[in-house]
Amino acid sequence: MGIHGGKAGMGREKTPYISISSSAVRGRAMVPNQQVRLTVRDYLDIPEDDENRYQLIDGELYMAPAPSYEHQESSLNLAAILRDFVRENGLGRVVASPIDVYLSDGDVVQPDIVFISNERLHIIHSDGLHGAPGLVIELLSPGTERIDRTLKRERYEKFGVGEYWLADPIAKTIVVFRARTVAFERIGVFTEGMALETPLLPGLRVEISAVFDYYVPSR
């Protein structure tokens, strides 16, 4: 499909991440059986008046669906918890989506929430983050789960993210991955009634119930 994919109508089931062909981005004929790896330059060439949300993952462009209500309220809850703690203790900065994170020439992602420690503040630029944040958090929504659990986790692991949290607003769980010598280690699954702690933010206790304290919408 073309790069200007239309938005889903109200009440329809969310469509998953859509992979956009390189020919649609570069405006040239598609060469059969030939994959063209896209770069940051191609990503930046997307027209500014295009209202869709895109991410470049391992040289492939993806168009993301609008997030669910549960996703949005849970994301705000968690971002507020982290932001308040980080501000009170002068530990760095917490930023919520949308913000571009440039990991490589073939990777520009938009995590839901990131924490940047004082030691890494140099990665903050006007156009986004140029380098890996210490903590990346993705909240699952219908249509994003496969990308968040596999492709994006692999990129975060490769490019030096310290911790990766996968929050599921429907299951009301947070899965924590922590960087080790060569790969992420799955630390555990945190559910309602539990509190999450991290060595990145000593003294922080994230009550899982507080993260997923959202109004239950009509189905």
- List, for residues 87-110, the tens digit of each pLDDT value: 999 999 999 999 999 999 999 999
Q: Which residue has the higher pLDDT, 2 or 24?
A: 24
Residue 194's pLDDT band (cuts 50, 70, 90): very high
Using pLDDT thresholds of 50, 70 and 90, give the confidence band for residue 71: very high
- How does pLDDT run across 198-218, given as a tens digit for each residue? 999 999 999 999 999 999 878
Kindly state whether residue 12 falls inside one of the protein's structural domains.
no
Last residue of a domain, one of 30, 64, 98: 64
Q: Summarize pLDDT for 46-66 with one digit per residue, the tens.
A: 988 777 889 999 999 998 888
Same domain, 39 and 116: no
Tell me whether residue 55 is in a domain: yes
Strand partners, 138: 166
CB 68 within 8 A of CB 169: yes
Which of helix, strand or coil describes residue 7? coil
Q: Is the pLDDT of residue 16 over 80?
A: no
Residue of 42, 45, 72, 75 lying closest to 57 (CA atoms): 42
Do 156 and 177 sit in the same domain of this protein?
yes
Q: DSSP assignment, residue 35? A: -
In the predicted structure, residue 154 carries a pLDDT above the cut 60: yes
Give percent of the chain above pLDDT 70: 84
* pLDDT above 70: residue 27: no
CATH number reported for the structural domain that contains residue 207 in this entry: 3.90.1570.10
pLDDT at 30: 30
Q: Are 56 and 107 in contact (CB under 8 A)?
A: yes
The residue segments making up the domain with residue 73 are 69-211
Query: How many separate helices (H) and strands (E) can be counted in the chain?
Result: 6, 15
Count up the domains in the chain and report the number. Answer: 2
What is the rounded distance in angstroms from the CA atom of residue 33 to the CA atom of residue 153?
27
Note whether 132 and 30 are same-domain residues: no
Asked whether residue 130 is domain-assigned, the answer is yes
Whether pLDDT at 31 is above 50:
no
pLDDT for the residue numbered 10: 34
Quick one: pLDDT at residue 12?
33
Which among 141, 143, 199 is positioned nearest to 166, based on CA atoms?
Answer: 141
Q: Dihedrals φ, ψ of 33, to 5°?
A: 60, 20
d(CA 174, CA 191): 7
| CA–CA gap between residue 19 and residue 128 (Å, rounded) | 23
Same domain, 47 and 85: no
pLDDT band at 155 (very low <50, low <70, confident <90, very high): very high
pLDDT, tens digit, 9 for 90 and up, residues 114-131: 999 999 999 999 999 999
